[in-house]
Amino acid sequence: MEPQLESVEKSFYLRYSGWVGEALNELPDCFTITDPCICGHPIVFASSGFLKMVGYSKDEVIGKNGRIFQGPETDRRAVMEIREAIRGERALQISLLNYRKDGTPFWILFQMCPVFSKEDGRVINFVGVQVPILRKPRLSVRSGMNLCEDGDRIREGILRCCRREVCSDSILEVGRASGPESASSHDDREVDINEPCEASELEKTKAAAAISNVLSVLTHYSGLTGRFVCRRRCCLTTNGQLGASLNISLGRIKQSFVLTDAFLPDMPIVYASDAFLKLTGYARHEVLGQNCRFLSGPDTDPATQFQIKESIRTQQACTVCILNYRKDRTSFWNFLHISPVRNASGKVAFFVGIQIEGHCKDHAAQGLSPEMRQRSVVGAVKVAVRGLSMGASTS
């Protein structure tokens, strides 16, 4: 497995006991689990039933976004509904046309549910259950009543011995080959697969039960690590939530930066970019909740630390060169820019700290000011935070 994929998968097992994967794979349901806190909102777990249904291997799915299962006929409005549900951190049930690895389309009932941290109420995962929708074949009128009766008998036999996802394709294949006008039946099949499809009450019940099964496993195995999860948000931080939509927006920023919560005691880090983790050598769970002082070491200048503290106290931006330390205790010069980030009401809700490795003199020699290098990051963070708070105030 590639190192990046291994890191994505490992992020899932940090919260849950190591046996969670085996327990989840014992469930008969088809489902994926995604992590909105990682850039790109990737899949961090895919059930064996799901992999069998779509024809992909585990390594082809882990680390990828769910968009890989969409295709040319997937309804864009349905995709937008899913995105809006993720931004709103809410559950959703919708019919969706997806595609297997070999390119064949199939209809599913997609039910999604957020998973909340019991400790701080953050959304830490989304569970997405996929139930194949059993579709009746549309047979050509020219085939006559005998063909319809034969098709009904064949369909009944297949229904008794096949799984639903296999059944749908098998019925269509039999329908095509049951009469002399197979080309016409093939045309009917193409029209049928692209038409909107509604799930039955039985399929909706199956999806809801699958969600409950997965959440029960996650709840149990999170308890074994002491990092409990729950289906509904149990608590809120002072400033609300660093929601899934904000996590996704921040994940698009490629530079090294952290976001700290100005409303919480000691201003803990609530977001760390992938580039920051790469620069410092820390894992995400080792960074979140920490004050930025954890990067300091024996040769860090106290005067520079005081300058940072004063800029935060006065809610002013500042730029410094500070000697910091990675996880392996090797030192590096951090060309650091700190800026307050205000919410829609004008209050300072966060501070963003942007890191560029290298000494100030190195950057000065290149003629690159910190404002020019880091302005885009500050602007993108401010837009994301204000957009989130404005959306929350109107909802």
- Per-residue confidence (pLDDT) for residue 361, from 0 to 100: 55
- Does 248 score more than 50 pLDDT? yes
In this predicted model, which residue has the larger pLDDT, 171 or 90?
A: 90
- Contact of 353 with 208, CB cutoff 8 Å: no
Which residue in 384, 96, 394, 342 sits closest to 244, CA to CA?
384
CATH 3.30.450.20 residue spans of the chain: 3-133+199-230, 244-394
- Contact of 125 with 229, CB cutoff 8 Å: yes
What mean pLDDT do residues 299-320 have?
A: 93
- Does 56 score more than 70 pLDDT? yes
Q: How far is CA 49 from CA 24, 109, 120, 257, in A?
A: 10, 15, 32, 38
Mean pLDDT check: name the lowest of 20-29, 46-55, 228-237.
228-237
- Does 4 score more than 90 pLDDT? no
- Per-residue confidence (pLDDT) for residue 23, from 0 to 100: 94
- Per-residue confidence (pLDDT) for residue 185, from 0 to 100: 40
- Contact of 285 with 14, CB cutoff 8 Å: yes
- Fold adopted by 244-394: Beta-Lactamase (3.30.450)
Measure the N-to-C terminal CA separation of the chain; round to a whole number of Å.
Answer: 43
For 66-106, write each residue's pLDDT tens digit: 999 999 999 999 999 898 888 878 888 999 999 999 999 99
DSSP structure string for 302-327: HHHHHHHHHHHHTT--EEEEEEEE-T
In this predicted model, which residue has the larger pLDDT, 231 or 170?
A: 231
List b or e across 62-82, with b for residues whose CB sees 16 or more CB atoms inside 10 angstroms: bbbebeebbeeebeeebeeeb
Mean pLDDT check: name the lowest of 5-9, 247-251, 344-348.
5-9
For 26-54, write each residue's pLDDT tens digit: 999 999 999 988 888 999 999 999 999 99
What mean pLDDT do residues 159-164 have?
A: 42
Output DSSP code: residue 151. Answer: H
- Per-residue confidence (pLDDT) for residue 236, from 0 to 100: 41
Rounded to the nearest integer, the mean pLDDT of the chain is 79
In this predicted model, which residue has the larger pLDDT, 373 or 256?
A: 256
Percent of the chain with pLDDT over 90: 46
Which residue in 139, 112, 117 sits closest to 127, CA to CA?
112
- Calculate ∠ Cα 141-142-145, nearest 5°: 65
- Per-residue confidence (pLDDT) for residue 375, from 0 to 100: 82
- Per-residue confidence (pLDDT) for residue 166, from 0 to 100: 39
Q: Which amino acid is at 26?
A: E
- Per-residue confidence (pLDDT) for residue 177, from 0 to 100: 39
- Fold adopted by 3-133+199-230: Beta-Lactamase (3.30.450)
- Contact of 240 with 392, CB cutoff 8 Å: yes
Beta strands 229-230 and 257-261, pairing class: unpaired
